[in-house]
Amino acid sequence: MITLTENAREAIQALTADEPTGAGVRLATEPTSADGDFGAVNLALVAAPEVGDEVIEDGGARVFVQPAAASIMGDQMLDAAVDYDAQEVNFFVR
Protein backbone atom coordinates (compact mmCIF):
# COMPACT_ATOMS: atom_id res chain seq x y z
CA MET A 1 0.00 0.00 0.00
CA ILE A 2 1.14 3.52 -0.78
CA THR A 3 2.17 5.66 2.19
CA LEU A 4 2.45 9.44 2.49
CA THR A 5 5.29 11.59 3.76
CA GLU A 6 4.54 14.54 6.00
CA ASN A 7 5.16 16.85 3.02
CA ALA A 8 2.62 14.96 0.91
CA ARG A 9 0.04 15.02 3.72
CA GLU A 10 0.43 18.76 4.18
CA ALA A 11 0.30 19.44 0.43
CA ILE A 12 -2.86 17.36 -0.02
CA GLN A 13 -4.49 19.02 2.98
CA ALA A 14 -3.71 22.45 1.49
CA LEU A 15 -5.01 21.44 -1.95
CA THR A 16 -8.28 20.11 -0.55
CA ALA A 17 -8.87 22.77 2.14
CA ASP A 18 -11.41 24.67 0.02
CA GLU A 19 -12.92 21.57 -1.59
CA PRO A 20 -16.10 19.73 -0.50
CA THR A 21 -15.80 17.35 2.44
CA GLY A 22 -14.34 14.05 1.31
CA ALA A 23 -12.26 15.47 -1.54
CA GLY A 24 -8.76 14.19 -2.15
CA VAL A 25 -6.24 13.43 -4.83
CA ARG A 26 -6.58 10.45 -7.15
CA LEU A 27 -3.72 8.43 -8.58
CA ALA A 28 -4.72 6.81 -11.86
CA THR A 29 -3.31 5.63 -15.16
CA GLU A 30 -4.80 4.91 -18.55
CA PRO A 31 -3.84 2.14 -20.97
CA THR A 32 -1.28 3.39 -23.48
CA SER A 33 -1.73 0.59 -26.02
CA ALA A 34 -4.32 -1.87 -27.26
CA ASP A 35 -2.73 -4.71 -25.28
CA GLY A 36 -3.40 -2.96 -21.96
CA ASP A 37 0.08 -1.68 -21.11
CA PHE A 38 -0.09 1.23 -18.69
CA GLY A 39 1.79 4.51 -18.84
CA ALA A 40 2.58 7.11 -16.24
CA VAL A 41 0.53 7.48 -13.09
CA ASN A 42 -1.35 10.79 -13.02
CA LEU A 43 -2.48 12.74 -9.96
CA ALA A 44 -5.66 14.83 -9.98
CA LEU A 45 -7.74 16.69 -7.42
CA VAL A 46 -11.18 15.02 -7.21
CA ALA A 47 -14.32 15.31 -5.10
CA ALA A 48 -14.59 11.59 -4.28
CA PRO A 49 -13.08 8.19 -5.09
CA GLU A 50 -14.31 6.11 -8.00
CA VAL A 51 -15.76 2.64 -7.53
CA GLY A 52 -12.93 0.20 -6.84
CA ASP A 53 -10.40 2.82 -5.72
CA GLU A 54 -8.27 2.09 -2.68
CA VAL A 55 -8.84 4.91 -0.18
CA ILE A 56 -5.91 6.06 1.93
CA GLU A 57 -6.64 8.48 4.76
CA ASP A 58 -3.68 9.82 6.66
CA GLY A 59 -3.80 12.80 9.01
CA GLY A 60 -6.69 14.45 7.17
CA ALA A 61 -5.25 13.83 3.70
CA ARG A 62 -7.23 11.56 1.37
CA VAL A 63 -5.69 9.70 -1.55
CA PHE A 64 -7.72 7.53 -3.92
CA VAL A 65 -5.73 4.94 -5.86
CA GLN A 66 -7.06 3.29 -8.99
CA PRO A 67 -6.36 -0.48 -8.93
CA ALA A 68 -4.07 -0.32 -11.98
CA ALA A 69 -2.09 2.53 -10.41
CA ALA A 70 -1.84 0.59 -7.14
CA SER A 71 -0.33 -2.38 -8.97
CA ILE A 72 2.25 -0.13 -10.63
CA MET A 73 3.18 1.79 -7.48
CA GLY A 74 3.18 -1.09 -5.02
CA ASP A 75 4.46 -0.11 -1.58
CA GLN A 76 6.08 3.16 -2.58
CA MET A 77 5.88 6.43 -0.70
CA LEU A 78 4.17 9.54 -2.10
CA ASP A 79 6.16 12.69 -1.37
CA ALA A 80 5.76 16.35 -2.32
CA ALA A 81 7.89 19.42 -2.81
CA VAL A 82 6.38 22.89 -2.66
CA ASP A 83 7.77 25.68 -4.84
CA TYR A 84 6.49 28.77 -3.05
CA ASP A 85 7.86 31.16 -5.67
CA ALA A 86 6.03 29.42 -8.51
CA GLN A 87 3.07 28.57 -6.23
CA GLU A 88 3.05 24.92 -7.27
CA VAL A 89 3.32 21.50 -5.72
CA ASN A 90 5.25 18.66 -7.32
CA PHE A 91 4.43 15.14 -6.23
CA PHE A 92 6.79 12.20 -6.72
CA VAL A 93 7.24 8.66 -5.46
CA ARG A 94 10.22 7.12 -3.74
Residue 11 pLDDT more than 70? yes
Beta bridge partners of 4: 78
Give me the pLDDT at residue 93, please. Answer: 87
Give me the pLDDT at residue 16, please. Answer: 94
Torsion angle (degrees, nearest 10) of CA 25, 42, 9, 20: -10
CATH number at residue 7: 2.60.300.12
Give me the pLDDT at residue 84, please. Answer: 80
Q: Rounded mean pLDDT of 68-91?
A: 89
Give me the pLDDT at residue 83, please. Answer: 85
pLDDT digits (tens, 9 = 90+) for 21-79: 999 999 998 766 555 555 678 999 999 999 999 999 999 999 999 998 998 888 899 99
Q: How many CB atoms lie within 10 A of CB 49?
A: 18
**The model's pTM:** 0.87
Domains contained in the chain, number? 1
Domain that holds residue 28: 3-32+40-93
Could you write out the DSSP letters of every residue in 8-39?
Answer: HHHHHHHHHTTSPTT-EEEEE--B-STT--B-
